[in-house]
Amino acid sequence: MVDSFKQIAIGCDHAGYSIKEYLKQNLAKPGFTFHDFGTFSAISMDYPDTAHPLAKAVQSGEYTFGILICGSGNGVAIVANKYTGIRAAICWNEEITRLARLHNDANIIVLPARFITPEEAIHLVQVFLSTGFEGGRHQLRVDKIDNVL
């Protein structure tokens, strides 16, 4: 069985393609491997075509964490957050990224490709993957996310 922490689901739309490839290339060195859900070029495509299968794979437990990238981050986050158990957080700076893990137990980091550099993307993913969930009072809140009234 693959170590689900070191094996990460990754996907993007056309706007996020170059950052996705940059992440794969530069995060492979610390020992991460990726299952790439696409897209596989910068040709315009529909972001739900990658966000749905990636979110399903994280939801099923096949992968502990996912990375989704699109122009603003909004589209793929909206799709991913439709899945029970998925907590996809749009992250554009270190503090937001750290809090997404500490307080919200986010399991998919969403990167807004048009608003960050590839170097910032690397840093944010490293922060995301190295920050644990704080639990405690935050666990009570996270437990309420999937409870539909």
Nearest to residue 108, comparing CAs of 87, 85, 133?
87
**Which of 14, 35, 52, 103 does the annotation list as catalytic?**
103
CB atoms within 10 A of CB 90: 21
96 membership: H or E segment, kind and range: helix 94-102
Strands 66-70 and 108-112: parallel
List, edge to edge, every strand of the sheet that includes 108-112: 33-36, 7-12, 66-70, 108-112, 88-90
**Which of 70, 91, 123, 138 does the annotation list as catalytic?**
70
Q: Is 52 assigned a catalytic role?
A: no
Structure tokens at 133: 């969930």
Q: Is 91 assigned a catalytic role?
A: no
User: Catalytic residue positions?
Assistant: 70, 103
